[in-house]
Chains A and B, each alone.
Chain A
Amino acid sequence: MKKWQLSLVFLSSLLLAGCGEPYLSTLHPAGEVAEIQFNLLLLSTAIMVLVISTVVIIYTIVLIRFRRNKENENEIPEQVEGSNKLEVVWTTIPIILLTILAIPTVIATFYLGDTSGMHKVNAQGEREAVVINVRAHQYWWEFEYPDYGIVTSQDLVVPTDERVYFNLLASDVKHSFWVPAAGGKMDVNTDNENTFFLVFDSEKAEEVGNIFYGKCAELCGPSHALMDFKVVALPRDEFDAWVSAMQNYEEKEPETDVAKYGKELFEANSCIACHAITPDDTRPYEARLAPNLADFGNRTTVAGFLEFNKENIKKWIQNPGEFKPGNKMYDRANFTDEELDALAEYLLTLKAQE
């Protein structure tokens, strides 16, 4: 049993160090928030390993020394009632250990829960920090930048090395907003707006090609597992460039015939009724029933989780129910291959910048 325990400890340290993908794993913290949480993980693990080893040592000694065998088969051990000294020891020591753990816990709780920074304004009365309204829907994410007048979806674009504040609200059922590498999750309630912040470290972002994975972490229906999104973490100047590109977004007429046909189809099939194709969607969020497709051509994924290529776009348009069961678009459509081609071609032309 002891060997087994030891090898487990060994194995776990191996696992802690080695596995897990840097764009997804909480063990590769990519920012201040995740860092704090990772340090708490290390501290608590250390204390807990201490506790486990104490138990295992006593346990092993007991198993070796006090087994019944042929010689002592008929012996009656002394019927000890207890020991006050020992009781005090194993009451006091855990209390001390827990205090060591409780203090940083409380400090970190208040530190991470302090979102007052989002209200700070500069001399011109403009908000200093980036604030993003996250709106969760079955099974997609919308990101609204209220200060910039931008609405986008599925790809969350953020600046690195600064606090990004989030206001979270769900339109249908409860979801939970989680970017494991950047920090813990926060529930997206239907009742009230939750607020928190994350920080995305520029070096770590570079390591993973500027893309972190985000997930829904609260059961929200059949396609909960696929309610992924991507975080595009850009250096501040690139982020600003993106913002201004989005702010000056212009609906370009498609150039190729195929894409033109795609646009016709897009309008004729009333896709446009739900999907906005410009980022300045001013309707209230309840009315924004489907992902905003502005800048679709620069997306990292199709539907939040499929590899971004034309084939997947076509498959998704034809058969979304197969990929995300229970999604609110439709289960399947009857486009011809030609029509699908046109639609995909058209969607790929929707770009804010090259």
Chain B
Amino acid sequence: MNDTLRNAFYEEAEELFQEIEDCLLDLDSTGTTGDKINNLFRYMHTLKGSSAAMKIQDMAELAHHIEDVLGLVRDQKLELTGDQIDWILQGLDEMKVRVAKHRENEAYEIDVDAITAGLDACPSRAAVSSDKKAAGKAEDTGAFLSEKEKSSMLKSLGPEEKAFQIRIRLTHDTPMKGARLFLVTDRLEQAGRIYKTSWENTEPENIAGDRFSVFLVSQLPKKEIEGRIHTISEIEETDVSEICGGRNPVPAAKSGTSGDREELQSVIRVNIKKLDQLMRIVEELSVDKERLKQLMKKVSQRYRGDEDVTSLSALTNQIDFIGNELQESVMSTRMYTLDSVFNRFPRMIRDLSKKEGKEIAFQVEGESTELDRSIMEKIIDPLNHMIRNSVDHGIESPEEREKHGKSRKGTIKLSAGQEQGHIFISLKDDGKGINLRRVKEKAIARGLITQAQAGSMTEREALELIFLPGFSTSDKVTEVSGRGVGMNVVKENIEAINGMIDMDNEEGRGLAITMKLPLTLAIIQSLLIRTNTFRFVLPLLSVVEIIRVRETEYDKKVRFIQEKEVMNWRGEVLPVLRGSDLFHSGGERGKSFAGIVLGLSTHKIILAVEEIIGQQQVVIKPLDRFTGKGKILGELRGISGTVILGDGDFAYVLDVQALLKDVMEKRKDEKK
């Protein structure tokens, strides 16, 4: 089998799994409605078709069976129950495994019978399906007609004309269905105008299934229309119903079926390597563009008034503008909306809360926020851990909640958005929050801190203990969490992308964790600084505040702890690091400096530098090929890359994470 085909199948299958899961979970919480079940049916149908094409018979068979059930639901002959959704989800999981194994060329067979038996054994299905005929004629004009289409069809009605939906069922083994349906349209065309057919977008030779619909505008009465077609052989059932305006109201938001389809068609798949390459070229361009601008400035000053120079200058501005547009466009192609990460959580929470006997309402907000792919990858694990923690440690059991005067159902809210050049993602629950006393006890028991340290700790410091490696507040290790690795991973991942973590803990009322993340990793907003002769850039996201210290204020503002400079900043005592010490750049320790309060995930320090040059957008060029033990540049501690400035020189990207780590370790050693 052709690799491209295979890969296309895997990708499609993954998308379909996600769509199906979303629909199912949606149905589970809101009940069956027209469009959703139509989509669900369509997705399952596609999945069946493509797995059959890949010759994965067991999967096709299972999909077929589920499709049958969904077909009944779509035709409103059946209500989907929670049990059935469970079984379908289980079937979906099996299919996921099947596809994953297929990808690895490993054998795996779905136990189709077990799942179909389970599904069929669900009580509601048996009850309703025995009563098929009675429920059969429910109104579902939405089946193949969107709200928009419906209203435009109704608007097109002339005097005396009516709109009809004609449902046809062909005998299951009808050969040449396309030809049969052509006969139908041919006859109906004599009865009126055909507005739409359910198969009009399908090539005649690809027409499959037994049920079809025609939307017809006609002056004839119902009976007459029925008479025109029921004489065609192999039509087993016909049902003509009138479509009326105003009835069967569906909220406007759900009219998206046809729109969705259009959008799907205008999407192409591009290998991410091609986008990365494009991104690199654009980065190159943006560096040269900055240089061009600076040179242009010099040239304009030298040849003021020269006509050509003036137009060259205008052209330079134009190129600068286009370059920025180009950069933004290319960056946007690498952006994903967060829902591709968020959409896995409803299922996870549903499963976890069932397992733990908790009742949880999960709310999502801002899932359309866009994020760079590389950052997206880094936040999946942290979010996973955080949500598991919320379910496991945060939300209490329904009984416990009632006892504390809370509603039985807990709420977990995941929200995201963009503000001031960064992305925030926040997870909030109304559970029991973090018990700081217990956190301290655990930390002491685990030997992470001493009794004395615990006593002198601020609330914030105590809260930060949960980020220490090997810390876990849960007494028992549950399947969900409690292995003591979670929050440590969260912190490391967020630090790796220069993000920050903020916590808002209210014991007994809940916990909110907010992550601040950069928009992209390659191009960053930075603060350009100088210490002696070296220029550095700091990710602006890590800069909390800038404090200027004048010579006259030095003695008042700067204190010493064990001969080390510290400053009091908003109630926190922060160590002061001299840029000149860090990089052996020499220069005296002046009493006047610019202090940059740097924050990363949870810790803060003050970096003292001689000069703050300004803000700049920079493209980071990694140096990691040349750094490390035995490499030409050595370990290059404290530097994570380099950027080319407008004047063609380099500045270095300060590795805030490494700096903070060093300080923290030194501090710890000194405490011992």
> Is B truly associated with A?
no
B interface list, Cβ under 8 A from A: none
